[in-house]
Chain A
Amino acid sequence: MPYLGSEETLKELKRALSNPSIQADRLRYRNVVLRVIRLMTQGLDVSPLFMEMVKASASVDMVQKKLLYLYMCTYAPLKPDLALLAINTLRKDCADSNPMVRGLALRNMCNLRMPGITEYIQQPVLAGLRDKASYVRRVAVLGCAKMQNLQPEAEIDGAVVNELYGLLRDPDPVVMVNCLRALEEMLKAEGGVVINKPIAHHLLNRLKELDSWGQSDTLTFLLRYEPRDEAELFDILNLLDGHLQSSHGAVATATLRLFLRLAAAHPAVQADALSRAQGPLLAMCASASRELRFAALCHVRRLLRSVATQYAAHYKRFFCSYSEPGYIRLCKMDILVELVNDENVALVLEELRAYCTDVLPELAQAAIFAIGRIGQMYSERCLGILVSLLGLRQEHITSAVLQTFRDLVWLCPQCTTAVCRAVASLEDSIQDSEGKQALIWLLGAHGDKISSAPYVLEDYIDSLKAELSSLVKLELLTATVRLFLSRPAETQDMMGRLLHYCIEEEGDMCVRDRALLYYSLLLCGVEDIRRILGGPTTDASLGVIAGHSEEPVDSWAPHFNTLELLLARGCVHMLAGRLPAPPSDGPHSSLSLSLEPALSPESFERHWLELDVSHVGPVTCPWPHCLPEALQAALQLVQIQVLAFSRPQSLPWKAYLYSHGDGTLILAEVLRDSTQGADHLQLTMKQVPRDKHVLQGFVAVLKSALQALSRDTS
C-alpha cells in the first residue's frame, strides 16, 4: 500500500536511513535503500529523502552504490543543489583503482541531468577517454555526447571531436561503435558523423569483431557512404555478403537495407540480395516471438509490392494458425492476396474460405475482403465462394460480401450478372450502415437486372425514420432516383414519399439539400436527370482499389528496417520529405485549398455525374514521368487529393482529383492522351458552387506542383 499514507512511509524511511545502528549493518542499510528504490519505481515521489540517500552513497557496498546512483540520476534535476554534494564522492570514485568503479561513477556522473554539472564532469570524461580500461573508455565516449546534450548551445570542442575520430581505431569494438554514436549526436547540426573512404573500409573490416547490436548500428551508419567507383562498390558488397544471411534478424535486415542502398543502380544485384535475404526474413515470420513475427510480416508485405514472385513458392508459410493473434492474421491475409498465382489460387482460396467463419467478426470480414481482392483477377472462382457465404445468413458476413460485390461490379463488369442474381435472392436484412450502403448502391445502379429491387428499396424507405446514418440516407436518395429512371412505374410512388420525407421532416441538412436537388432536377425533366445520373456504372480503368503495378525497389528501400513500415501507412508520408514545397508566391497565394472534408470514391462519382463542366482546357506543362503514387503524394502536399488513376502505362491515362477551396468543391479529371502528343494534358474541371477565381487558383497550384515534380524526376 505505498500510495496510502505515503507521508508516514517517507518519515519512517527517513528515520531508518539516519539511524546509526542501521547504517552500521550493511544488509539492513541496503534493505532500506531497496525499499526506497522500490517506491520510486512504483511512481512515488521519494525525493524528500535525497539528503539521506546522498549520505548513504559513501558506502563501500557496490550493490548499494549502484542503487543510489540510480536514485540520484532520477532526482538530480529536482534537487540540483543537493546533488552537488554527491559530486565529490563520484569524482573520488572516478579515480579508483578498480576500472569497474571508475566506469560506474563516470557513467552516472554524466547521467546527472542538471544545469552546471558540465564543469565538474569535463575533466573526468576527458581523462576517461585515455583510460587504460576499455570499460571506462566506452563510458567516457558516450559521456562526451551526454555533455554536449546538457548544453546544446555551447560550441563543440574540436579537440574532443578529433579525439573521438581517433578512437575509431580503438582495439575495443564497443568503443569504436560508441564513438560513431557519440559523434553522430554531437555533430547532428552538421549532418552527423562523416564516413569517408578510410573510415568506411575500417568499419567494414572490423564488422566481424562486433556483436550483433554493434553490427546493425554500424551497418546503418554505412548507409551514408557513397563508394567512388564500381570496383569499390563490389568490394564492399563482397565484404557484406555473409551478413545477409545472419541468424540475427536485425543484422540481416540492416545488411539488406545497405545492399539495396549501395546497389541502387544495379537492379540485378538488388534482386539477388532480396532473394538471398529471404531465408532470415521467412525465419522471422515464423519466429516464436509474435512481435518479431509481426515486424517481419510488415516488411515482407512491403517487399511484395516489388518482388511478389520470389515469395510465391512460400505461400503456405503465410497461412494463419489458430493460436495467432488477430493483427498477425490480418497481416498474413494481406500477404496471401499478393502471392496468388495460377498455381496456388485454389489452395489459397480454400484457406481464406476457412477464415471467413472465424469467431472474430473483424477477421471474418477481412478474409472476405481478401477474397474480393483476389476476385479482381480470378472472378469466377471467388464469386462462387462469395455467393455461398450468403447462404450462411450471418449479418457481418453478408455485409462484407455485399461490400465486396460493389467493388467487384465496379472493377470487373463481367461479374454483374452473377452478382445481380445473388443480390436478388438475398433474404435477410443487414444492420450495419456499410453493408446497407453497398446493397442500396447495387440496387440503384443495377436495379434493371434485379427484379426485387423496388421492393427492397421500399422497405428501406418505409423504415427511414429509424435510420440513424445520414450516409445511408444519401445513398438511398441517389439509388431511388436512379431506379426511377430504369423502372419508373414501380418506383414513382415511393420516390415521392422519400423526397417528401427528406425535404419536410429530415433533420440532417446534407440529406435535405440532396433531396431538394433531386427534386429540382426532376422538375427539369427525365431526360436531363438521365443525362446527369445515368453515367457509367463500371469503369475498369479506375484503379481505386487495384493498384497492382509493381513498385520499384527504391520506393520503399529507404524505409526498410525502420519503424515506418510497422506503421503501415501509404507511401504518402515517406515521400513528403523529398518533394520540394511549391513556391509560395504567385497568383494562387491568396487561395487556400484543403482536403477536408474527405470525399469517398462513391460520392466523388456521384458529384462528378451530377455536376456540369466548369472548365475544360489543356495544361501547358511537361508530364512528370513518375509513378502515380508519387504524383498522389506530391499533390497531397498542396492539398489536392488524387482519388483514382489508371494503371501507369495505359493510354489514355486518367486521374481524378478533388479539393476544397474557399467554400467550393473542385473536382477535376486529368487526361493524358497519346493522340495529342505524349505530354499533352487535358484538364476537365467541375466546381460547386462556381467561383472562377478559385478555379484559376486551383489550376495554378496544380501546374506548379506538376512542374516541381517533373523537375524532381528528370
Chain B
Amino acid sequence: MISQVFILSSKGDHLIYKDFRGEAKSDVVNVFYQMVTDLPADQPPVLMTHEGLHFIHVRQGGLYCVATTTANVSPFTIIEFLNRLTALIKDYCGSLSEKSVRMNFALIYEMLDEMLDYGYIQTTSTDILKNFIQTEAVSSKPFSLFDLRSVGLFGAETQQSKVAPSAAASRPIMSSRGDQEGKNEIFVDVVECLTVVIGSNGVLMKADIQGEIRVKCYLPSCSEMRIGLNEELSIGKSQLRGYGAAVRIDECSFHQAVRLDEFESYRILKICPSQGEQTVMQYQLCDDLPSAPPFRLFPTVERDSGDRLLIYLKMRCDLPPKSVVPSDFTTNLVLACILKPTTSLSQELSSPDQSAELQPSCKVIQWEIPRFPGGAQLSALFKVEVPGLSAASLLEVGPVCMSFELPKHTCTGLQIRFLRLSPAQPGPSQRWVRYLTHSDSYTIRI
C-alpha cells in the first residue's frame, strides 16, 4: 500500500502531491529531495528510508515520481506502478515533462484519485480510466517548420507525407480536437535495443537485443487487430522454421490481452488494443546476431613525440547502402581515467559537417556525425596533449561507445507482415508500422 504519491521537478518544485493514508506529513517531500540530491554517486537512490517511511522513486523525463510507504511491500509492484503512472501521463498529456505535468495537474490528480484508493491500486487500465476522467488535456505543441514538410505544394501528397511525422505519436489520446484533425490512427512500433561489446581484437564479446512491439492506439472504439509477424520466426535455440534465413529469437512474452491461438501456426497476434500505448510483445535474443554488428571500428593509438597522444579512428558502417541512415549518431571515445589531458584538442575529421570536442571533466572526446550512410567509411584523427604520458597508460585508452538510432531497421529481422483491423473501421483510419533500432550500449574496446 502506498502512503503518498508525489512528483517533483528536477529542481525540487512540487508538481503533484497526493496523500492517501494520512500517515506522514507533506514536509517529507522536502526531506526526499534533500536526501536524493545529497546521495553519494555509488549509493542506489531507488529506495531510501527516513524515520520508518520508505521512499521509492523512478526518474523519468527529468521528473522524480515518488511513492512513499510504511509497509514492507513488493518493490516490483511499486516500481511497476510508478512506471505505469508515467506511461499514463504520457498517454493522456501527450508527453512527460515538467511543462506538461504543470499544465495538466488537474487531470493527473483526477487520474490518481481513480488509480489509488487508500493507497491500494484500483485500476490502471486506460479503458476503464477514460470513463472517469473528464478534464481535458492541454498540450503545448511548439510551432515547428518540420511539421510543414509533410504538406506538399497546393496540398498535393508528397513522398514525405507517407512517413508518419515523428511528433504524430506524441499527442494526448483523448482530445476533442483530435476528431477535427481526422486522426483515427494506430501506430505499431517494433523497437529493438542493441547492446554490443566488441573486444580489442575485433571479436564480438557480447551481443544482446531486447525488442518489443508497441501499439499506440488512437482509435476511439476498440476492435480486434491482427498483427502478422514473419512466418519463419522461430523461438528458442532448437526450433527452426521455413527454408530461407530464419528469423530467430530466444525468448518472448506477451501482454495479458493477446490471444495466441494463431501464433503457433501462422505467427499472428490477436489483440483488442485499448487506447493509449501498450507493449504487446517483448522478446530477446542473446549472443548470435543474424548479421554482423552494424558498425566496425579500426583504431590506432600512438604516442607522438613527447606527450602527444595520436588517436586515429576509422569507422565503417556495414548496413546495406542507402537503405538505412542512422540518426543522432554520436561516438564517445573515453580516454582512460588515468590520462589527464589538457583542454586542447586538434582534430582532422573526414567531412566538414562532423564535429568533435574534448570534455575534460569526464575525459571523453565526443565526435558527432550527422550523416553516416550505409557502406560508408569515416575517419578521424585526434591529437591530445597529455602531460606525463607513459607507455602503460597508452593501453588504457578506450573504450569507444557509440549511440545511435537506426530507423526502418531491426537487427533480428523481425517484420510485421500485415496489420488488419476487423471489422473495418468506419471512416478514414491510418495504420503506421515503424521500426527502430536503438543503441542501448554499443561499446568497442581499443
Chain A residues in the interface with B (C-beta under 8 A): 34, 37-38, 41-43, 62-63, 66-67, 70, 73-74, 77, 100, 107, 113, 138-139, 142, 145-146, 174, 177-178, 181, 211-213, 216-217, 220, 245, 247-250, 253-254, 279-280, 283-284, 286, 288-292, 294-296, 316-317, 319, 321-324, 326-328, 330-331, 347, 350-351, 354, 357-364, 366, 391-394, 397, 561-567
A294 to B193 Cα, complex, angstroms: 18
CB-based contact A562/B73 at 8 Å: yes
Given A139-B117, A323-B440, the answer on whether A393 and B14 have CB atoms closer than 8 Å is no
CB-based contact A359/B123 at 8 Å: no
CB-based contact B106/A37 at 8 Å: yes
Cβ contacts A to B, 6 pairs, < 8 Å: A41-B17, A247-B255, A250-B80, A283-B284, A292-B79, A360-B41
Write out, one digit per residue, whether chain B residues 107-119 have a CB within 8 A of any chain A CB (1) or not (0).
Answer: 0011001000110
The yes or no answer to B24 lying at the interface (CB within 8 A) is no
CB-based contact A567/B47 at 8 Å: yes
CB-based contact A327/B74 at 8 Å: no
A291 to B75 Cα, complex, angstroms: 10
CB-based contact A563/B47 at 8 Å: yes
Which of the 9-residue segments B147-155, B264-272, B388-396 touches chain A?
B388-396
A392 to B338 Cα, complex, angstroms: 7
The yes or no answer to B368 lying at the interface (CB within 8 A) is no
CB-based contact B58/A291 at 8 Å: yes
A77 to B396 Cα, complex, angstroms: 63
CB-based contact A70/B123 at 8 Å: no
CB-based contact A41/B22 at 8 Å: no
Q: Which of A174, A248, A328, A354 contacts B80 (CB 8 A)?
A: A248
CB-based contact B134/A63 at 8 Å: yes
Smallest CB-CB separation from A560: which chain B residue? B74
Given A292-B76, A321-B443, A566-B47, the answer on whether A74 and B19 have CB atoms closer than 8 Å is yes
| Residue in A174, A291, A561 whose Cβ sees the most chain B Cβ within 10 Å | A291
Kindly identify, within residues 112 to 148 of chain B, every residue whose CB is under 8 Å from any CB belonging to chain A: 113, 117-118, 120-125, 131-132, 134-135
Q: In the complex, which range does the number of interface residues on chain B fall in?
A: 35 or more
Smallest CB-CB separation from B255: which chain A residue? A247
- Which residues of chain B have C-beta atoms less than 8 A from A100's C-beta? 131-132
Given A212-B256, A322-B401, the answer on whether A34 and B443 have CB atoms closer than 8 Å is no
Q: Which of B106, B337, B443 contacts A364 (CB 8 A)?
A: B337
Smallest CB-CB separation from B82: which chain A residue? A291
Write out, one digit per residue, whether chain B residues 33-55 have a CB within 8 A of any chain A CB (1) or not (0).
Answer: 00000000111111101000010
A212 to B74 Cα, complex, angstroms: 13
A567 to B43 Cα, complex, angstroms: 11
The yes or no answer to B251 lying at the interface (CB within 8 A) is yes
A476 to B75 Cα, complex, angstroms: 47
CB-based contact B120/A62 at 8 Å: no
CB-based contact A138/B135 at 8 Å: no
Given A63-B110, A291-B46, A392-B392, the answer on whether A359 and B363 have CB atoms closer than 8 Å is yes
The yes or no answer to B98 lying at the interface (CB within 8 A) is no
Write out, one digit per residue, whether chain B residues 5-49 have a CB within 8 A of any chain A CB (1) or not (0).
Answer: 000000001111111001000100100000000000111111101
CB-based contact A174/B123 at 8 Å: yes
Given A321-B195, A394-B337, A394-B338, the answer on whether A213 and B77 have CB atoms closer than 8 Å is yes
Write out, one digit per residue, whether chain B residues 327-354 have a CB within 8 A of any chain A CB (1) or not (0).
Answer: 0000010101110000000000000000
Give the interface SS of chain A, mostly helix, strand, loop or mixed.
Answer: helix
Smallest CB-CB separation from B125: which chain A residue? A211
CB-based contact B74/A254 at 8 Å: yes
| Residue in B75, B255, B286, B337 whose Cβ sees the most chain A Cβ within 10 Å | B75
CB-based contact A67/B106 at 8 Å: yes
A146 to B76 Cα, complex, angstroms: 26
The yes or no answer to B180 lying at the interface (CB within 8 A) is no
- Which residues of chain A have C-beta atoms less than 8 A from B14's C-beta? 41-43
Q: Which of B42, B72, B109, B121 contacts A70 (CB 8 A)?
A: B109
A561 to B75 Cα, complex, angstroms: 7
A369 to B172 Cα, complex, angstroms: 49
- Which residues of chain B have C-beta atoms less than 8 A from A290's C-beta? 59
CB-based contact B76/A319 at 8 Å: no
CB-based contact A357/B336 at 8 Å: yes
CB-based contact A316/B286 at 8 Å: yes
- A288-B193, A357-B338, A360-B41 given; name 11 further pairs at CB < 8 Å: A66-B110, A73-B19, A107-B117, A213-B77, A283-B251, A289-B58, A291-B79, A322-B334, A360-B337, A363-B42, A392-B396
A228 to B396 Cα, complex, angstroms: 63
Q: Which of B81, B199, B392, B440 contacts A321 (CB 8 A)?
A: B440
The yes or no answer to B184 lying at the interface (CB within 8 A) is no
CB-based contact B47/A37 at 8 Å: no
CB-based contact B390/A393 at 8 Å: yes
Kindly identify, within residues 362 to 388 of chain B, every residue whose CB is under 8 Å from any CB belonging to chain A: 362-363
CB-based contact B253/A295 at 8 Å: no
A317 to B441 Cα, complex, angstroms: 13
CB-based contact A250/B17 at 8 Å: no
The yes or no answer to B205 lying at the interface (CB within 8 A) is yes
The yes or no answer to B105 lying at the interface (CB within 8 A) is yes
A565 to B79 Cα, complex, angstroms: 14
- Which residues of chain B have C-beta atoms less than 8 A from A295's C-beta? 46, 75-76, 79
The yes or no answer to B94 lying at the interface (CB within 8 A) is no
| Residue in B80, B131, B334 whose Cβ sees the most chain A Cβ within 10 Å | B80
Report A158 CB to chain B, min CB distance, Å. 22
- Which residues of chain B have C-beta atoms less than 8 A from A211's C-beta? 123-125
In the A-B complex, list the 7 residue pairs whose CB atoms are closest, starting with the nearest: A321-B441, A327-B44, A250-B76, A247-B253, A213-B121, A322-B401, A362-B42
A100 to B362 Cα, complex, angstroms: 55
CB-based contact A70/B113 at 8 Å: yes
The yes or no answer to B314 lying at the interface (CB within 8 A) is no
CB-based contact B254/A247 at 8 Å: yes
The yes or no answer to B1 lying at the interface (CB within 8 A) is yes
Given A63-B110, A70-B18, the answer on whether A292 and B77 have CB atoms closer than 8 Å is no
- Which residues of chain B have C-beta atoms less than 8 A from A562's C-beta? 72-75
Report B386 CB to chain A, min CB distance, Å. 14
Report A41 CB to chain B, min CB distance, Å. 5
Q: Which of B15, B59, B206, B393 contacts A319 (CB 8 A)?
A: B206
CB-based contact B109/A66 at 8 Å: yes
CB-based contact A142/B445 at 8 Å: no
CB-based contact B46/A566 at 8 Å: yes
CB-based contact B117/A216 at 8 Å: no
- Which residues of chain A have C-beta atoms less than 8 A from B125's C-beta? 211
Report B277 CB to chain A, min CB distance, Å. 13
A286 to B208 Cα, complex, angstroms: 10
CB-based contact A294/B443 at 8 Å: no
A461 to B27 Cα, complex, angstroms: 52
- Which residues of chain B have C-beta atoms less than 8 A from A364's C-beta? 337
A324 to B409 Cα, complex, angstroms: 24
CB-based contact A564/B74 at 8 Å: no
CB-based contact B287/A316 at 8 Å: yes
Q: Which of B122, B131, B208 contacts A316 (CB 8 A)?
A: B208
Given A286-B284, A321-B443, A564-B72, the answer on whether A292 and B42 have CB atoms closer than 8 Å is no
Smallest CB-CB separation from B102: which chain A residue? A38
Given A37-B105, A41-B17, A67-B109, the answer on whether A250 and B74 have CB atoms closer than 8 Å is yes
A505 to B325 Cα, complex, angstroms: 72
A364 to B15 Cα, complex, angstroms: 38
A62 to B122 Cα, complex, angstroms: 20
CB-based contact A245/B253 at 8 Å: yes
A77 to B23 Cα, complex, angstroms: 13
- Which residues of chain A have C-beta atoms less than 8 A from B90's C-beta? none
CB-based contact B83/A289 at 8 Å: yes
The yes or no answer to B57 lying at the interface (CB within 8 A) is yes
A393 to B340 Cα, complex, angstroms: 13
A107 to B132 Cα, complex, angstroms: 14
CB-based contact A142/B117 at 8 Å: yes
Smallest CB-CB separation from B361: which chain A residue? A359
Smallest CB-CB separation from B279: which chain A residue? A247
Report A142 CB to chain B, min CB distance, Å. 5
- Which residues of chain B have C-beta atoms less than 8 A from A351's C-beta? 205
A645 to B419 Cα, complex, angstroms: 64
The yes or no answer to B282 lying at the interface (CB within 8 A) is yes
